[in-house]
Amino acid sequence: MKEIEMKQEYIQDSGLGKGRFSLFNQLLKANSGVLLLSNRYLGILISLVFLINPSVAMGAGCSLAGAFLFSKQLGREQLIYSLPAYLYNPILVGGAIGFFGAIDLKTAIMASVFGAAAFMLTLALSDILFKLAFLPVLTLPFLILTVV
């Protein structure tokens, strides 16, 4: 009986269900984070807008994959599940890479590396700026990485 409950809990938390920390809900909230809001319905709308230009959507997807893999390597994947604000900078960086070039293997790798860098920079700057001046990071990592 306990195994069944654990499996149901896993399904809810893995994004397949409607759990509080489901991956799909967090991705939608991260998409709406592009507009500095946290609403999954707005995230659906923004996801549909990304599909107008498929290379932007692919760049954002590769960048998100890079950010997820990097957070998993750091052991910080729970941070992504609890705070989708750490994901909108990788989405913006990947979208910018997809906007400026067609997605092939080279740009997909570049988008995933820059997505990991955006996650790392967001994590570092949020800690530094909050401790020093109580300032939010917002899109500063996106601006820094897009200039690079």
Write out the two tokens for 123: 């994590």
pLDDT-derived band at 7 (thresholds 50, 70, 90) equals very low
Q: In the predicted model, what is the mean pLDDT of residues 104-114?
A: 94
Q: pLDDT tens digits for 9-67?
A: 444 444 444 555 567 777 788 888 888 787 888 888 988 988 899 999 999 999 999 99
pLDDT value of residue 99:
92
In 3-state terms, what secondary structure has residue 46? helix
Do you know the residue count of the chain? 148
Q: pLDDT tens digits for 62-100?
A: 999 999 899 889 888 777 777 777 888 999 999 999 998
Q: Per-residue pLDDT for 2 more than 70? A: no
